[in-house]
């Protein structure tokens, strides 16, 4: 007789687990959400400027719903579009990425790449992201990153992979600096480092992975707003606690959203991104997102 309560408990736990997995894999990972933040980085009396921050699409060829949702963000009327990498998850995904971003290619834009722009996913145990210890990065199938780069650059977007430039957007002069993905040690900030340009109205640093070595250096050079992705906001979070991992040295409480970067005057926005790694197609307590950052006077 005593076995019956234990059997019932085990059955209840199994049912709850199955329901949670079904929700996170079938529902929440498709609940695309637009976040909005006001960022006080402009000079007094300056007109607001809108930045659309898109990250971690991890696009698969058949994800037409995601593509349509991203394209519809054109209705936010951004002054500048910044894409912080990990756009593709399959060698055939490039047309889908360009379909999603096509409405923005006529606007001022800038981009950096993440590791999953260069190579595709490798199947493995998703628990490796929360287990302690160093993990060797394993490269998968090559992706058409040069074709993606050419499409962006031909549209007039700035390639910020270890690069620095000044562009015009929203009637302002904006200095941009960026690095290639620190997650795979492609970053070379020293090659573009230096104090911010005095003649620009705004200074923005861009990276896929929010590695502290990069963010510290950008903030020290005077860049007022830092943009990153990579973390997926933790992807699977604990309600009331938050992210279990950021897959880098970023503190867990900064896994997504807008924060002051410690010991600096810079603001950091980390996008939780719009996709998932195909080997772990779930999200829990962490909806996929894009963000509109409205820059306002300090």
**Whether 145 contacts 180, CB under 8 Å:** no
Asked if residue 141 is part of any domain, the answer here is yes
Q: Measuring CA to CA, which residue among 232, 174, 166, 159 is closest to residue 51?
A: 174
Distance CA 170, CA 209 (A): 27
User: What are the backbone dihedrals phi and psi of residue 254, each rounded to the nearest 5 degrees, phi first?
Assistant: -115, 20
Q: What is the dihedral sign for C-alpha 212, 89, 162, 167?
A: negative
In a domain, 60, yes or no: yes
Q: Is residue 87 part of a domain?
A: yes
Mean pLDDT across the stretch 31-36?
98
What does DSSP assign to residue 189? Answer: G
Please report the pLDDT score of residue 278 as a whole number.
82
The secondary structure of residue 59, as a DSSP letter, is B
pTM of the model: 0.90
Distances (CA, A) of 79 to 204, 216, 279: 14, 27, 35
Count the Cβ atoms, other than its own, within 10 Å of residue 244: 14
Residues 100 and 155 sit within 8 Å (Cβ to Cβ): no
Q: Structure tokens of 173? A: 């002069």
Range of the domain at 138: 31-297
The more confidently predicted of residues 18 and 261 is 261
Give, for 98, the enclosing helix (H) or strand (E). helix 94-101
In a domain, 236, yes or no: yes
Residue 132 pLDDT > 80: no
pLDDT in tens, 258-290: 999 999 999 999 999 999 988 889 999 999 999
Residue 134's pLDDT is: 53
Tokens for 179? 């690095």
Chain position carrying tokens 């996170």: 24
The per-residue pLDDT of the chain, averaged, comes to: 90
Residue 4 lies in a domain: no
From CA 228, how far away is CA 3, in angstroms rounded?
52
Q: In what order do the strands lie in the sheet with 33-42?
A: 33-42, 289-297, 49-54, 80-83, 109-111, 158-159
Residue 157 resides in a domain: yes
Note the pLDDT of residue 222. 98
Residue 168 counted as domain residue: yes
13 found inside a domain: no
- Note whether 216 and 259 are within 8 A (CB): no
Tokens of 204: 């923005």
Bigger pLDDT: 32 or 2? 32
Q: Which of 264, 85, 251, 110 is nearest to 182 (CA)?
A: 85
Contact present, 158 and 176 (Cβ < 8 Å): yes
C-alpha distance from residue 131 to each of 126, 177, 200, 245, 256 (Å): 10, 33, 44, 9, 20
**Count of domains for the chain:** 1
DSSP percent split of the chain into helix, strand, coil, nearest 5:
30, 25, 45
The CATH number given to whatever domain includes residue 261 is 3.60.21.10
Confidence band, pLDDT 50/70/90 cuts, at residue 8: very low
């Amino acid at each position: 007789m005593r076995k019956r309560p234990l059997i019932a408990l085990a059955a209840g736990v199994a049912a709850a687990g199955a329901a949670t997995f079904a929700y996170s894999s079938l529902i929440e990972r498709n609940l695309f959400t637009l976040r909005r933040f006001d960022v006080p980085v402009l000079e007094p009396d300056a007109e607001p400027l809108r930045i659309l921050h898109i990250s971690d699409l991890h696009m698969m060829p058949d994800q037409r719903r995601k593509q349509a949702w991203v394209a519809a963000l054109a209705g936010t009327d951004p002054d500048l579009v910044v894409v912080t990498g990990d756009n593709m998850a399959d060698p055939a995904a490039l047309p889908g990425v360009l379909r999603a971003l096509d409405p923005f290619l006529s606007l001022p834009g800038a981009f950096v790449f993440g590791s999953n722009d260069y190579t595709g996913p490798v199947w493995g145990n998703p628990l490796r992201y929360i287990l302690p210890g160093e993990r060797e990065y394993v490269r998968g199938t090559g992706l058409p990153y040069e074709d993606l780069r050419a499409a962006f650059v031909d549209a007039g977007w700035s390639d910020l992979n270890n690069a620095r430039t000044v562009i015009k957007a929203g009637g302002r002069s904006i200095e941009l600096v960026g690095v290639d993905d620190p997650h795979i040690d492609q970053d070379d900030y020293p090659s573009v480092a230096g104090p911010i340009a005095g003649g620009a109205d705004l200074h923005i640093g861009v990276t896929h992975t929010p590695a502290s070595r990069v963010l510290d250096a950008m903030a020290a050079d005077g860049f007022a707003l830092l943009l990153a992705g990579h973390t997926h906001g933790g992807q699977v979070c604990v309600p009331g606690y938050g992210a279990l991992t950021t897959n880098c040295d970023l503190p867990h409480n900064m896994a997504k959203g807008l924060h002051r970067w410690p010991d600096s005057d810079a603001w950091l926005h980390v996008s939780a991104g719009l996709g998932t790694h195909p080997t772990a197609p779930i999200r829990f307590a962490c909806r996929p997102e894009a963000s509109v950052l409205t820059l306002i006077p300090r």
